Structure 1
Amino acid sequence: MKMRRSSRIVAITKFLSDKPYKLISLNQFTERFDAAKSTISEDLAIIKDVFEQEKMGKIETVSGAAGGVRFIPYKGNKDIRETIINLCNQLSDPDRILAGGYVYMTDLIFDPKLMSEIGEIFATKFADLDAEYIITMETKGIPIALMTARALNLPLVSIRKDSKVTEGSVVSINYITGSSKKIETMSLSRRALPEESKVIIIDDFMKAGGTAKGMLDLMGEFKAEVLDIGVLIKTANPTQKLVDDYTSLAVLEKINEEEEEIIVDPSDWVINL
């Protein structure tokens, strides 16, 4: 279908952004828009320049017979800081304090727009790791992990707290929660993850790191290589976690029920952007 250049650029941009990291041959565009390769290449050059100027991602061209073009989403430093600062400001609202010293986060975790932005931040941080799967623990980790998986165009695998007959053969392990020292169980279907996969773990909250350590141990049962761990929020205390290598976006510094005070700050790497 013949289009004016302005309309064609909009259509190509939408097509690429809907399929991040997917390599698309120029022939698909030439056939779809009834345009010469040289014309499509000029369109892509315009899109590439705008994306780079606005820090919206990049257009990568792969040469050769099996080559093509792909969109790699990333967020600029300014956008990352703004998103995380906005998140911290919302979480620092005293009305979010729950009995027992907990923080109400559910509305934010299930906010599609905010979690889409968080997913793009994790995707920006982990873009060069060459991961094959995103791993998370049900249930609150799922929205964050799903948006990260979408931004990286990777499959999402969710670990269950108990096994179901519909999962088939499963691997289950017991782990000790870092904060309450309770023994819990987590399970993953053998069909969900091929052995020796390269994975990134995404979770919503880390206090002592017991759940993250359990997921690391479970990945060991699959001989998987854990490239990194992404956490939306960690607590400032305890300072020593049960896992060493992880990336958090924000830090719960203080929560005081009596004084109705809660302080959530961006992580150091966000501040230093």
Structure 2
Amino acid sequence: MKLKRSSRLVDMTGYLLQRPHQIISLSTFSERYGSAKSSISEDLGIIKENFESQGTGRLVTIAGASGGVKYIPYMEMSDAKELMSLLSGQLSQSDRLLPGGYLYMTDILGQPFYINAIGRMISAVYSKDAIDVVMTMETKGIPLAYAVASQFNVPVVIVRRSSKVTEGSTVSINYVSGSSKRIQTMVLPRRSLTPGSKVLIIDDFMKAGGTMKGMANLLQEFDAEVAGMAVFVETKDKAPKLIDGYLSLLKLSMTEQEQSFAIELGNVFNYYSLEEKI
């Protein structure tokens, strides 16, 4: 279809936003709009400048015969800090603390604005990593996992506590819950992962880290690799977590009697600092 340049820019922008981390050749755009590659290159330069000035993401040029351009979502540190301030304010409401030291977050994880922004922020930290799959444990982490996966344009794998007949043969392992110290089971269908997959593990809430450690151990059964681990909210404890090298956005700090609590920043901006130096 032949479009005016203004319409072409709008359509190209939408096309790129819907296909993050996917290499799109100049020929694809040239054929789509019936325009010369030189014109397409100029258009992409305008879009690249707009993406970077607005903090939307980066448009990377891939050289070679199979090259083209690739849109990589990103969130600037200033926008990330504004988001964390907004979320910490929402989660600091006194009636959110639940028995057992948990935090009510279902309403936050159910709002598209928040969940998509959180997904983009997490993906920004891992934007230069090769991610093949996003993994999470049922059930509350599922919206967050899909939000992150949409930024990488990769599938989501959901670990369950029991097998389902609709998923075929499965692999199961036992793991020790870090908070309750109980032995629990997690299950994943054999067809979920291929050997060598680079997996980003996502969870909504972490106390001691037993569940995330269990998911990391489960990946070994598939000869898959942990590319990263990220959690929305972790608890602040004196005892060390069962895992290390994880990303946390927010941290829940409580008194010993769990009479009051506070929401603090996690370690996410340590990772942001490293990213911005690259």
TM-score bracket, shorter-length normalisation: over 0.9
Amino acid at match of 1:104: Y
Task: Describe the superposition over 1:3-37 as per-residue Cα deviations: whole angstroms up to 9, x where unpaired.
Answer: 22111111100000000011111112112212111
1:213 aligned partner = 213
Task: Describe the superposition over 1:66-120 as per-residue Cα deviations: whole angstroms up to 9, x where unpaired.
Answer: 1111111100001111111211111111121223433211111122221111111
Cα 1:56–1:239 change in 2 (3 A) is farther
Q: How does 1:30-109 map to 2 (within 5 A)?
A: 30-109=30-109
Unaligned runs of 5+ in 1: none
Query: Could you tell me how far 1:155 is from its partner in structure 2?
Result: 1.4
1:195 aligned partner = 195
2:18 aligned partner = 18
Amino acid at match of 1:10: V
2:137 aligned partner = 137
Greater shift, 93-102 or 263-272, is seen at: 263-272
Q: Secondary structure at the match of 1:191?
A: helix
Query: Could you tell me how far 1:238 is from its partner in structure 2?
Result: 4.1
Greater shift, 95-104 or 20-29, is seen at: 95-104
Q: Secondary structure at the match of 2:192?
A: coil
Q: Structure 2: how far apart are the matches of 1:225 and 1:113?
A: 31
Cα 1:182–1:35 change in 2 (3 A) is same
Q: Secondary structure at the match of 1:11?
A: helix
TM-score (norm 1): 0.94
Let me know the Cα RMSD of the aligned residues: 1.7
1:119 aligned partner = 119
Q: Structure 1: how far apart are the matches of 2:268 and 2:138?
A: 27
Q: Structure 1: how far apart are the matches of 2:51 and 2:234?
A: 32
2:173 aligned partner = 173
Greater shift, 115-124 or 59-68, is seen at: 59-68
CA contact (8 A) 1:256 1:262 kept: no
User: Does 1:152 pair with 2:152?
Assistant: yes
CA contact (8 A) 2:59 2:71 kept: yes
Greater shift, 35-44 or 97-106, is seen at: 97-106
CA contact (8 A) 1:252 1:264 kept: yes
Q: Structure 2: how far apart are the matches of 1:109 and 1:239?
A: 28
Q: Structure 2: how far apart are the matches of 1:149 and 1:64?
A: 27
CA contact (8 A) 1:61 1:69 kept: yes
Runs of 4+ aligned structure 1 residues displaced above 4 Å come to 255-259
Aligned length: 272
1:2 aligned partner = 2
Task: Describe the superposition over 1:223-260 as per-residue Cα deviations: whole angstroms up to 9, x where unpaired.
Answer: 2111211111110114400112211111001268875x
Task: Describe the superposition over 1:14-61 as per-residue Cα deviations: whole angstroms up to 9, x where unpaired.
Answer: 000000011111112112212111111111100111111121101111
Q: Secondary structure at the match of 1:28?
A: helix
